[in-house]
Amino acid sequence: MNNILLVEDDIHIQTVNKRILEDEGGYNVSIAMNLAEARAAIAKSPPDFIMLDIMLPDGSGLDFLAELRASGCEIPILLLTALGETKNKIMGLRAGSDDYLAKPYDYDELLARIEAVLRRRTIIETKTESEPEVLEYGPLAINRIAQRVLLHGKDINIQGKEYNLLYLLTQNKNQVISAAELYEKVWGQPMGKDTKAIRSAISRLRPKIAGSGYSITSEYNGGYKFEQGE
């Protein structure tokens, strides 16, 4: 049974979500009223999944999300918020969330989104079980356990979605992967017409792996390829 940490200060939302998640989703749910309680809960027993509100009494959920990702935390996180504008959703995804759902939302959709995120994580973990701990591409080393990337032995600060993008590209070395497929696997939803997020992530990755003898090329059909050569 997966353990979910619900970080939410609205008592009504807490009660309803906890009941839905436990009774219909079969999850074990714990609650944090604020960021301080969330930090304590994660430090004591890291959950399998976090549902995080953005507007909390002691700070911003977005800042907390960035804090978790900067510390190397890879727990799947779904943002639940009343901020439903596209710009807010983009900010949340770029900050490192695995998904974003605006209030009010359909509970069946909520359960489906949680299942999808956890399923993707299971697929990634299963796929990597038979692989070595460190994958090497010349001087570029990807530690799949720590989920860190080193170039000539130096950590080059590739985390979160950038790490997942690079990992997927290296696992399909010399093969073109469409932007839509990459986006769906890393962001967990259809890309739609907005390609800015993935283009920005690729643009940040390229200079970080410069000097490795490998590069990420853009293909004529809108896809990307990890290959030898700079």
Half-sphere exposure of residue 86, counting CA atoms within 13 Å on the CB side? Answer: 5
Domain of 99, in residue numbers:
3-127
Domains: count for the chain: 2
pLDDT greater than 90 at residue 230:
no
pLDDT greater than 60 at residue 126:
no
Residue 136 lies in a domain: no
Rounded-to-integer distance, Cα 68 and Cα 75, Å:
9
Residues 84 and 178 in one domain: no
Residues 72 and 100 in one domain: yes
Are 157 and 208 in contact by the 8 Å Cβ rule? The answer is yes
Residue 133 lies in a domain: no
Residue 134 lies in a domain: no
pLDDT digits (tens, 9 = 90+) for 85-99: 777 777 777 778 888
Residues 17 and 121 in one domain: yes
Domain limit, last residue, from 100, 127, 154: 127
Are 25 and 109 in contact by the 8 Å Cβ rule? The answer is no
Q: pLDDT value at position 36? A: 95
pLDDT digits (tens, 9 = 90+) for 9-43: 999 999 999 999 999 888 999 999 999 999 999 99
Residues 27 and 52 in one domain: yes
Higher-confidence residue: 13 or 185? 13
